[in-house]
Every structure is written in structure tokens, then in C-alpha cells.
Structure 1
């Protein structure tokens, strides 16, 4: 049977080393423009979703307000994803 000759670190010291080695987690913010990027000279449009929609791997619930390019907003409206205001 083999024996381990290394000494064990105290739990508090091991936890402190782990916390120091790990960078602080940045809070996730919603991207400025969801979906395709803005074209040259375009201004972003804010739309309210009427249905659940997944864009770029992020789920958006009904009633969520997102900022998108005008072309993408037009496509969302045509598919019925934008709430009538």
C-alpha cells in the first residue's frame, strides 16, 4: 500500500489560493445590439417581443425589450415575433 508523503494544506489556505487564482466573474450584460450587427449608418431599433424567441443562444421571453438592427426588426415583425404597440 502506497502512502502519500505530501502535507495537506489547511482548508482556508486552499480556498484563498483558489479565489486568488480565479478572476472575478463579470456580470453578464445584455449586448448593445442583438442578432445581426448594424449596417453602416443605421440606428438601432428597440422592439418588444410577443413570443419566446432564441437569438444567438440566448432565450428572450415574451415582453422582453431588445435592441436590434432595423433590418432584423423588420424580419421579426414579418414573422410575428414583435408585439403590436
Structure 2
């Protein structure tokens, strides 16, 4: 049978410790980048023009948050995928 090698603190010492204020720190939230004015998502193939897409839902691409109604520049293939998944408003 295993035994616990730690000793219990007396009740008086435990009461003293609980009355002292403890400063708790909360972990910092990751800071999101603002929406860039460049092509986002997968790389744009050579010779292809980017397409403006209006997002229908909240979406995060490469660590950047985009709210509904945000207009972004993406490759035509990525625009097609976003529309198919319901993230982008139909063209």
C-alpha cells in the first residue's frame, strides 16, 4: 500500500494562509492581427487575378479574424471553396 509522504498543515496555519490576499494573474490572450489588404489564404497561382469575396460568417484565416460582411481578396479556387462551405456570400 502506498503512503503519502507529505505532512498535513495544522488548522491554524491553514486559516492564516487563506486570509492573506493572493494576486492572481490571468494569462494574456493572443492578440489577433487586423485584416490585411492583401491576398489571404492559399497562394495565388501565377497569371491569375485575385477575387473579392464578402464573408457571410465569422472566419479565421492564418490567425486573422474576419467578421461577417468583411471583404477579402482571395484566389478564385479559394473563393469557390469558401462559397461551397458557406463562409462566403454567393457571387
The TM-score bracket by the shorter chain reads 0.5 to 0.7
SS at match of 2:52: strand
Moved more, 30-39 or 73-82: 30-39
Paired residues for 1:55-70 under 5 Å:
55-70=61-76
SS at match of 1:32: coil
Which residue number corresponds to residue 83 of structure 2?
Answer: 77
1:4-61 per-residue CA deviation (whole Å, 9 max, x = no partner) reads: xxxxxxxxxxxxxxxxxxxxxxxx6714101111001110000000000000000000
Which residue number corresponds to residue 48 of structure 2?
Answer: 42
Runs (5+) with no aligned partner, structure 1 = 1-27
Higher Cα Rg, which structure: 2
Taking a change above 3 Å as real, the CA distance of residues 31 and 37 of structure 1, as seen in their structure-2 partners, is: farther
Runs ≥4 residues deviating over 2 A? none
CA RMSD of aligned residues (A): 1.6
Runs (5+) with no aligned partner, structure 2 = 1-33
